[in-house]
Each structure stands twice: as C-alpha cells, then as structure tokens.
Amino acid sequence: MVLGDFNMIIRVTDKNNTNINRRMMSKFRDFVDEHELKEMYMHGRRYTWSNERDAPTLTKIDRILTTVDWELDNAEYLLQALSTGVSDHAPLLLTTSVGFNPKRRFRFEIFWTKLDGFEEAVTEAWVCDPDIVDPYKRLDTLLRNTARHLQAWGQRKMGNVKILMRVARWVIHRLDCAQENRALGQLEIWLRKSLKQALLGLAALERTIDRQRSRMKWLKEGDANTKLFQAVADGRRSKNFIAHVKKDGVLITDQELKEKAFFEAYER
C-alpha cells in the first residue's frame, strides 16, 4: 500500500521542512501503535527519499516495521539505507545475522575467595610489562590480566570441585561396601572420615556456587527479562552498533580493527 510521502511520516523529524500533513501523520502513527509495531533503527541515513531538486525535499518514507516477537527471534539484525542509484528512493538492506559478538563480561564470583589458592592466583596475575609507564595504562593492563587469569583459574577450580566430589563419593561407597563384609583398618577408617569431612566442605561450596548461579539466571531470565525489557535492550544494541569506520580513507568493518582504530584515535 503506497500512501505518499506525507502519509508515511511517523514523526516531524522524518522530513527536512515544515510542510507536514499532521493529520495523516497522526493516523499513520495510530496505525503503528494499534498493531503494536516497532520501527527498526536505520543506520547511515536520516532520510530515504528526495524530490531531486536544487533545494530538495527530503523525507523518511521507507522503513521496516516489525513485531516484538520477530525482534526477539532475530536479535542480531542490522538495517542500512544504501545509495539511491537510479531511483529517488534509498533501498534498504536488512541483515538478520550480523553477529555483534559482544565480548564476555568479567564477573567476579563470590565463591572464589573460599577456594584454596585464590590469593596466590591474584598475586600471580597482578603483573604488568615494565615498559608500560603510563599509570592509567598500567592499571588497565593489571586489571585485564587479573580478570583473564581469574576466569581461567575459576573454571579449573569449579571443574575440580565436581570431580573431587564424585571421587570422594566413589571412594566412600567402596569403603561402605567393604565394611559390610569386614572390619575396616585404621587407615581406611581415617580415610573414610577425612573424605566425609572434605565432602561436607565441597558440598557447602557447591551450594554457594549454585545459589549465585541461580540468582544470576533469575536476573537474566526471570521477571527482569520481560519482552519489553529484552526488546529495548536488543534495540539499543542494534542502534549503538557501529557497522564501519573510516580511517585514512580506508573503510574498516572488522570488529577488532574498528576497536584498534578507536583506541589509536583517542590515544593521540
């Protein structure tokens, strides 16, 4: 259905002058609201149509409207307006699998402090190249090194907790079975008692881990994660995504190279 440039405007900023049919604009906005549609954020352009005159009228009359359910199922989308070419309309390019690939954020696990070797792990990780003399860069490097080291150390320790519990239960089970047929020796009694004490400590640690995990999962998937909340978060991520940057006349699209370009620009 083609409604014309006046009718397809949702807001005043969709046109570069004040010659606006507000009644039709309001009707179109009501239509969008009534059907619970959401406009995709468009990267790169403010307007999509021009009357091609010397003092052109520019409007945004090409857009994509979607539902919240579609956006939740296609969170990594990117909408861009391309060159008008031979037309007075800018074609829209919708990519549904951009792959934002956000870096995993560092989360300090409370239970780490209860594990043996925590302080040693921090001391070992808190190192920095002596050639880095800028205090802010040194602090940044120290924190990054420590975060990376603690994540790897925590993964190893968490795995060890589960393995140690399984091994302890297996050995205790074997000693229980042996006790049904014969008297246990002094070393076997000592081992069984020691393993049970160790198992209690490991079980307490496992409960602490599970509590923190369940709390994080609730925050991620529970009441805080309504469709509206998720849609707003996904929309903000899509809007804030930088598809490319230009440095020294070169267009950069690779994520790591974009990060490097920004870092070098602010370093100067």
At the topology level, CATH places domain 4-95 in Deoxyribonuclease I; Chain A (3.60.10)
Question: Hey, how many other C-beta atoms are within 10 angstroms of the C-beta on 200?
Answer: 10
List, for residues 68-81, the tens digit of each pLDDT value.
778 777 777 888 88
Contacts of 220 (CB under 8 A, 6+ apart): none
**0.75 surpassed by pTM:** no
Q: CA distances (Å), 257 to each of 4, 104, 117, 130, 263, in order?
A: 42, 18, 37, 26, 10
Region at 67 (left for phi over 0; alpha for psi -120 to 50; beta for the rest): beta
C-alpha to C-alpha distance for 265 and 253, rounded to whole angstroms: 16
List, for residues 116-168, the tens digit of each pLDDT value.
788 888 898 898 888 888 888 888 889 888 888 888 887 777 666 777 788 88
Domain boundaries along the sequence of the chain: 4-95, 110-231, 241-268
